[in-house]
Structure 1
Amino acid sequence: MDTLFVDKHYHLVVECKQGSKKACFELYKLYAKAMLNVAFRIVGNVAEAEDVIQESFLDAFKRIHDFRQETTFGLWLKQIVVSRSINLLRKRKVELVELGDDADNLADEEQYDDQETHYKVAQIKEAMNELPEGYKQVISLYLIEGYDHEEIGQILNITENTSRTQFLRAKRKLSEILSRKGITQ
């Protein structure tokens, strides 16, 4: 028997399912900023990230009756955002995940106070841009977004084993790039 995951915003989801526009707006206010950060880290453009989250929320609210609360609403919505972001990238056929200076939540703000850390983060971002697209997708989803290999497999329509392999190869390649540039890890 499936157990329902009791989300702290369960009541808003229930009201939203019953057609409450106010509940939908409350869910939007609760999750919009976090979802914008997710989309931005993937598409690398604020305007496109805003479009992605708008489409994602519309999609989520249209499909709210499909949400079975086996996980949190936030995780379910995040999967929609990531999927739409990746679809956008596939449409425009560009490199995935250019981490801009505006990206939130990449490291503690205290770390950014250190000049050396600033420099290393910029070098790692630059090195990540040299990775092949498949490597960048997997390493970004795993390290930055926090997905596990099973979830990455579902998102990218690859096997869990392929995700693990791509991740290991991406780490090795990133390490090579950083070593070539004389950056210690």
Structure 2
Amino acid sequence: MSSNTGFAQILDLEILARALRGDMAAFADIYRLYGRACYNLALRLLGNAATAEDIVQEVFLKLMSMLRSFRGEAPFGAWLKRLTVNASIDFLRRERRLDGVDAEAILAQQAAIEPGAEQAIDVQVLLRQLSPRARAVLVLHELEGYTHKEMASLFGQTESYSKSLLARSLQRLNALVDAAAPTSSADHV
């Protein structure tokens, strides 16, 4: 048994061949292998469990129609990861109609009423306090290893936009950690 998890798991070629023939049990096997990894990535990018679930459903529905475009030039998990990132970024683009709303102010209000600040620092809570684009850039660069060039292409922006947004996001995240640290620094042995 392989110790690989998440997107690094190896998809059995027989399962892939069955899925290409339209075998729904093979699609279920693929979901069992990669569903959690897709959900976790979408959750980190979008900061909302229900939206992440919707993205996973969208990705696996797309997978059924797009599987023939998988060329095998990269591992299947990397290809599926790219589908998940693209679906998440597309969701953020669709939500641009909310541009007139001050997302930072809304997130600050949510953070003020969100429980758990007095407990250990919760990374998901901190990430949710960033704007959706800032969170996506930070997660893609710092956790998923995307380059600024790749992110510029994904977001339709320049590399300097990506670098600037990442720097501001890290600065804000550090400030949030500093603000939360005094209340979570109780000495435990």
Alignment CA distance shift 1:161-1:83 (3 Å): same
Show the counterpart of 2:69.
66
Aligned residues: 158
SS in 2 for 1:70: coil
Q: Which runs of 5+ in 2 are unaligned?
A: 1-8, 108-118, 183-189
Could you list the structure 1 runs, at least 4 aligned residues long, displaced by more than 4 angstroms after superposition.
Answer: 93-96, 128-133, 176-179
SS in 1 for 2:121: helix
Q: Distance in 2 between matches of 1:177 and 1:45?
A: 19
| Contact 1:142 1:149 (8 Å CA) reproduced | yes
SS in 2 for 1:120: coil
Q: Distance in 1 between matches of 2:149 and 2:142?
A: 14
The amino acid that maps onto 1:24 is: F
User: 1 or 2, which has the higher helix percentage?
Assistant: 2
TM-score (norm 1): 0.65
Shift of 1:90: 3.5
Q: Distance in 2 between matches of 1:79 and 1:90?
A: 16
Shift of 1:21: 2.6
Q: What do you get for the CA RMSD once the two structures are aligned?
A: 3.4
Q: Distance in 2 between matches of 1:48 and 1:135?
A: 17
Q: Distance in 2 between matches of 1:21 and 1:182?
A: 47
- Residue from 14, 17, 22 that aligns with 1:19: 22
Show the counterpart of 1:141.
140
Q: Distance in 2 between matches of 1:165 and 1:176?
A: 17
1:80 maps onto 2:88 in alignment: no
Q: Distance in 2 between matches of 1:40 and 1:131?
A: 13
Q: Distance in 2 between matches of 1:134 and 1:43?
A: 9
**% identical aligned pairs:** 29
TM-score (norm 2): 0.64
Alignment CA distance shift 1:132-1:13 (3 Å): same
